[in-house]
Structure 1
Amino acid sequence: MSTFVSVVILVGVLGFALVRPWGLPEAMGAVPGAGLVVLLGLVSWQDAGRELVVLGPTVGFLAAVLTLAHLADDAGVFRYAGWVAGRVSRGSPRRLLGVLFVIASAVTAVLSLDATVVLLTPVVLATAMRMRVRAKPHLYACTHLANSASLLLPVSNLTNLLAFAASGLTFARFAGLMALPWLAVVATEYLLFRWFFAGDLAAPARRGPPAAPVQAPRFALVVLAVTLVGFGLAEPVGVHPAWVAAGGALVLATNRLVRRPLAEVGRLARAANLPFCGFVFGLGIVVLAVRSGGVGLVVGRLIPAWGGLAGLLAVAVLAAVLANLMNNLPATLMLTPLVAHSPGLVLAALLGVNIGPNLTYVGSLATLLWRQILHATAHRPAGREFLRLGALTVPACLMAGVAALWLGLRVSGTS
């Protein structure tokens, strides 16, 4: 009965987050859900408190990097990226797709998938419209790369931070092991996109007016580069990436804070999306109740004890299935404690929860947000086409990513 109740509460929390009735934030469902599992005794007060402490640094980083990404957008980083993409592509839809893959993969890796979905997608749409090319391949690339290109760094995705905390790896070690899978997955996505959207990419572009030059936001780009280096340098000396991201955001916001301190503090708080941070805390406690019951026992029995190629593939597929059944964030919260005995299995689970959401809309909140953004335009995505593209890319990317991970683990001697 406790397992049934905890699953019902989780479904209710996720359903609220997906629908967001009356525009209410996701936390309005997750926080009461967390309180309910504690009041019903499904999770003790002590365990709930420990879960909040464990999630604290991760949620802190989420708030900091969201703020950093919005400040970078205000500085013109994404407008500049869109201008560069249009200039380099020289009117070719195929070249535009290739340039976009490079830009979106870099943005996702450094500023997290939320920046790609929320900030880059509108820029890509505007660039395609200005170039008068079919926007569909480029818009679908934004959501696919927001998920699958978020494998590289611990800071690229909230799921990465959760996996990173469970893996026992250093920042540099994590990035080194995930570099080859990241490249393999992005390359696989690109080749399959070229084939799937061959007709759209072959359509000739109608010549439009030249785009006005956009000045490079040098200061913001330097701050982002220094912040990225700081992620790698700070972690070995015990400084959490959240502090590095917060420092980068503070540098970008300094001038505005000096001129209008009260107004800027409020704007930064909105950029940090504190209600969503509350959602993550609440969801963590609800998933703890599910993991502690029968569902956790069943999933635990499916986890292999070894990290060979078959074991890595089994965990990645299981993670992808769970991501599409319950969303990738709760899937990560459930899986990472169960595979923490093997860094290789932790990274395999990360492949599944990051690549798997490209199969269905409900796989990740970022995909749902992308869909919501496009539904406000004339370029609404078709559900059947999204599924067809996902059915093509997800299995291939999982295979490519797992094979690359297995090779990297073998070469490095990591289990």
Structure 2
Amino acid sequence: MDYASFFIALSIFLVTLFLVLKRPRNLGIGYSAMAGGAVSLLAGVTTFHDIFVVWNIVWNATFTFVAVIILTLIFDEAGFFEYWASRIALAAKGNTRRLFLLTIILGASISAFFANDGCALVLTPIVVSMVRKTGMKKQSLLPFIMAAGFIADTASLPFVVSNLVNIVTAGYFGIPFLGYASIMVFPDLSSILFSAAVLWLYFRKDISRVYDTSAVGDPLSSVKDSLLSHIAIPVIIVLVAAYSVSGFYSIPVAFVAVPAAAVVLAAASARKRIDTRRVLKSAPWQIVLFSIGMYMIVFGLGREGLTSMLSSALSALKPLPGPFSIISAGLLFAFTAAIMNNMPSVMLGNLAIGSMRGAASRQLIYANVIGNDIGPKFTPIGSLATLLWLHTLERKESVKIGAGRYMKMGIILALPVLVVSLAVVWIVLSL
């Protein structure tokens, strides 16, 4: 290993990550990552050929992500999510604890079908508004917003489209939609159950017992476009069916998600009930640039020695008996996600697994997914969903959560969920 080249690659990565997190002069995270990618190219850490290699890895995930988020934003503008939040608030019948559990179920559903970033983007402001509207005590706000942010990531395991991590990994190893879902549905269910349990145990003293349902209002009053709100669930059903069929023919999920988003966007534009320009403007274009730039940087860093280091560590963990091998690997992937963000982390993990001798271990592949889906909750920088969640809280002026306080809650809440999910996927793969 050329230590000088490795040091240069690592320095570029660390400086880029610093700019992404600090956002000096409100600099977009995409611009920071692309600047880092350009420096990596100029320094010889990556080559022009690497750009095409990286794009071949990330294009499917990138286009699918943008399409799913656009669908999410359109249905949000139409009032679909707020309608269901109001229905849930009424269904809980003034019982705050019941509402807390129903909020987790709503978040898990949004995360599964509209991705973790869509969940963080949509559910957080709705939860803040709902808690304030119902007149709950101020101390009850933190449990609800933590539940919204936490479940966005921990419930993003079941489908390929539920998380960018899943899309990248499934695409890299050629895992079809149904093949992926057949393995990950059970770990996802266990993750949701244990997430609800740990959130409840941690926050049970802060949740007030009752709230005023009369303040919720008529759920229909939040609907701006009844047609779009009515077609949301049928669109989800058609998309899931299309994703399933596409897997049999090795059709990338982007070829399903992008046309669906285009049709719904065209319908929304024609009806003129919602501002589609605002939807397109608020789509996560910065995340597209972030993905490409950061992947280039990590690709170069991996080639300079980090991939071989991770491969060696994974090889040392493989002989461990029973579930300890997959749990140890998952914890390692979770650690890398927590300190470097899960998008570069999952790519590094995929490269390391792919470079190991013999066929890629299914256990390591799914440990990489789970570690990078749940592990980011250990730190505020672990996932884009968490960064979106924190940004939303700041914009809504609801609760300010410091890094130290967040990490304490994140580790206590996420660690047991991560270990249980890894143990469950080991059981599924062993059957």
TM-score (norm 1): 0.93
Q: Which amino acid aligns with 1:281?
A: I
Deviations 1:21-72 (A, max 9, x none): 2222112111121122122211222122211222112211111111111111
CA shift, 1:208, in A, is 5.0
Deviations 1:309-356 (A, max 9, x none): 222112101011101111111111100122241122111111111111
Question: 2:313 matched to 1:302?
Answer: yes
Q: Which amino acid aligns with 1:218?
A: H
Secondary structure in structure 2 of the residue aligned to 1:91: coil
Distance across 1 between alignment mates of 2:253 and 2:205: 43
Of 376, 379, 399 in structure 1, the residue corresponding to residue 419 of structure 2 is: 399
CA shift, 1:226, in A, is 1.6
- 1:77–1:221 contact (8 Å) kept in structure 2: no
- 2:326–2:422 contact (8 Å) kept in structure 1: yes
Distance across 2 between alignment mates of 1:130 and 1:202: 14
Distance across 1 between alignment mates of 2:160 and 2:213: 42
Match of 1:240 in 2: 252
- 1:172–1:232 contact (8 Å) kept in structure 2: yes
Distance across 2 between alignment mates of 1:5 and 1:42: 8
Secondary structure in structure 2 of the residue aligned to 1:201: coil
RMSD, matched Cα: 2.0
TM-score (norm 2): 0.89
Distance across 1 between alignment mates of 2:394 and 2:6: 37
Of 393, 396, 401 in structure 2, the residue corresponding to residue 381 of structure 1 is: 401
Q: Which amino acid aligns with 2:297?
A: V
- 2:117–2:385 contact (8 Å) kept in structure 1: yes
Distance across 2 between alignment mates of 1:188 and 1:110: 20
Secondary structure in structure 2 of the residue aligned to 1:151: coil
Of 279, 293, 296 in structure 2, the residue corresponding to residue 285 of structure 1 is: 296
Match of 1:128 in 2: 131
CA shift, 1:257, in A, is 3.8
Q: 1:254 to 1:306 in 2, by over 3 A?
A: farther
Question: 2:222 matched to 1:211?
Answer: no
- 1:312–1:406 contact (8 Å) kept in structure 2: yes
Q: 1:32 to 1:117 in 2, by over 3 A?
A: same
Of 113, 116, 119 in structure 2, the residue corresponding to residue 113 of structure 1 is: 116
| Gap runs ≥5 in structure 1 | none
Q: Which amino acid aligns with 1:249?
A: A
CA shift, 1:294, in A, is 2.5
Match of 1:358 in 2: 377
Distance across 2 between alignment mates of 1:60 and 1:206: 43
Distance across 2 between alignment mates of 1:382 and 1:203: 27
Match of 2:163 in 1: 157
- 2:342–2:376 contact (8 Å) kept in structure 1: yes
Question: 2:383 matched to 1:368?
Answer: no
Q: 1:342 to 1:166 in 2, by over 3 A?
A: farther
- 1:64–1:249 contact (8 Å) kept in structure 2: yes
Secondary structure in structure 2 of the residue aligned to 1:363: coil
CA shift, 1:111, in A, is 0.4
% of aligned pairs identical? Answer: 24
CA shift, 1:81, in A, is 1.9
CA shift, 1:383, in A, is 3.9
- 1:145–1:186 contact (8 Å) kept in structure 2: yes
Match of 2:13 in 1: 10
Distance across 2 between alignment mates of 1:268 and 1:369: 16
Match of 2:357 in 1: none
- 2:308–2:352 contact (8 Å) kept in structure 1: no
Distance across 2 between alignment mates of 1:255 and 1:165: 30
Q: Which amino acid aligns with 2:121?
A: V
Match of 2:234 in 1: 222
Distance across 2 between alignment mates of 1:273 and 1:309: 38
Q: Which amino acid aligns with 1:408?
A: V
**Further displaced range: 64-73 or 217-226:** 217-226
Deviations 1:346-398 (A, max 9, x none): 11111111111111111112212211211231322344442232222222112
**Further displaced range: 87-96 or 18-27:** 18-27
- Equivalenced residue count is 408
Question: 2:26 matched to 1:26?
Answer: no
Match of 2:346 in 1: 332
Match of 2:38 in 1: 35
Secondary structure in structure 1 of the residue aligned to 2:217: coil
**Further displaced range: 230-239 or 10-19:** 230-239
